[in-house]
Amino acid sequence: MNENFKESLQFQTFGCKVNTYDTGLLQQRLDGKNYSRPVQVLNTCAVTGEATSEAIRTLRRIKRESPETLVVVTGCSAQVDTERFQDLAEVDLIVANSHKGMIGELIEKTIQGKLNEKVFKSNIFKKEDLELGGGLEDTHSRSFLKIQDGCNSFCSYCVIPFARGKSRSVPKEVIAERVSELGAQGIQEVVLTGIHIGDYDFGLEDLVEYLLL
């Protein structure tokens, strides 16, 4: 679990590097926001039951230590284990992966008392877009860049397609533009990441060759 702090808004990330990237994207989107009460966003993982349990233990600790904190649950567990969080008094807002792009607006409306519900979730398989960030810096010289999300394999043992939706890819021209921007910022190494990058729609080998031109 990683923690990132920004004034009254805090993020906690559980799980994989893609989740870490998604948290970075949320930070970019909410950069500069100052709320009238503390806000903790937990970006959860659903790969194992223990990952969900760890998130629940964490949010209970947060509420116990700081009852005034607005606890927001998002990520994969919010999408597939919604009911486990819905009945918890410590949870103020649940934003599933299907609604993650609306998280800033939903936090503001919750604080303002303008929402009558706390769960925001829809069919993840209807999600067509792939939200992008400029890249998530891992070190001063290395950055992660998400090129793909979701999975079409539907393995019997894996919950990921139900948490992330169908496979979606970023066009190689858009990726090349982002890589150029990162290079201009002094980044020397870009790590391409995704849930199943072998399923990259436009050909992973072709993408690498295109980026090296």
Q: Are residues 44 and 100 in the same domain?
A: yes
What pLDDT score does 133 carry? 63
What pLDDT score does 190 carry? 92
Is the pLDDT reported for residue 83 higher than 80? yes
Q: What is the CATH number of the domain that holds 173?
A: 3.30.750.210
- With 0-12 CB in 10 A as exposed, 13-18 as middle and 19+ as buried, what is 20? buried
Mean pLDDT in the chain?
Answer: 91
Percentage of residues in the chain with pLDDT exceeding 90?
Answer: 78
Q: Are residues 134 and 95 in the same domain?
A: no
Is the pLDDT reported for residue 7 higher than 60? no
Q: Are residues 112 and 176 in the same domain?
A: no
Is the pLDDT reported for residue 191 higher than 60? yes
pLDDT in tens, 150-167: 999 999 999 999 999 999
Q: Are residues 88 and 143 in the same domain?
A: no
Q: Domain boundary residue among 122, 149, 165?
A: 122
What pLDDT score does 33 carry? 86
Query: Domain range holding 185?
Result: 126-212
Question: Most confidently modeled of 2-6, 13-17, 90-94, 97-101?
Answer: 90-94
E strand segments, 76-162 = 93-96, 119-120, 136-137, 142-149
Identify the weakest region by mean pLDDT among 44-53, 68-77, 121-130, 135-144: 135-144
For the chain, what is the domain count? Answer: 2
Q: pLDDT-derived band of residue 127, with 50, 70 and 90 as boundaries?
A: confident
pTM for the model stands at 0.89
Question: What is the torsion angle, in degrees rounded to the nearest 10, for the CA atoms of residue 156, residue 120, residue 126 and residue 191?
Answer: -70
Is the pLDDT reported for residue 18 higher than 60? yes
Q: Are residues 35 and 80 in the same domain?
A: yes
